[in-house]
Copies of this chain bind each other. A is one copy, B any other.
């Protein structure tokens, strides 16, 4: 049996990656979404084990020491990380796993697991990203400025990804994302044993 693919998805806040992933996970039931752990407080509407596992800084640091984090990073003063065990178990069972993490963490995963497939979701433009964040109306201007600056830094790191896609129209973005998933299952790296099977008893 083939191992599952590991997809690492990054996008600046406000690029709609949550909505895209929600739809993609609905349509593709062989995908496992890896929930990250974080030390930040839950936002309104977020739930334990759905958006994040909310743990204390002490717990987080103890996980790091025990080698239990596939990657972790500090962002806006909080720690975010990927609990390793569940991810590796799913991949071994042939289940594809999606990690939704920021760019520094993504680079760490790629370094640890070169077969990981990195997907970056871009906004149509930085101006449009700012407009979307303003429209959301949940954060102060200062926080929005900070997010936009962070976004610019993250977008610059998109050159290290395998795929980049723009979320302009949601429907198209979902199609793009699903094409990447489907095509990446058809690469030769994933299918060397398929050739052997076709040739069996030839």
Contacts and interface: CB of A to CB of B under 8 A. Distances in A.
Interface in A136-167: 148, 152, 155-156, 158-166
Nearest to A160: B188
Contact of A175 (B148, B182, B201): B182
A28 interface: no
Interface stretch (A30-38, A44-52, A122-130): A122-130
Given A152-B199, A156-B195, A183-B183, 9 more contacts: A122-B194, A123-B198, A125-B201, A126-B198, A126-B200, A126-B201, A148-B202, A155-B198, A179-B182
Interface of A: 122-127, 148, 152, 155-156, 158-166, 175-176, 178-180, 182-184, 186-188, 191-192, 194-195, 197-202
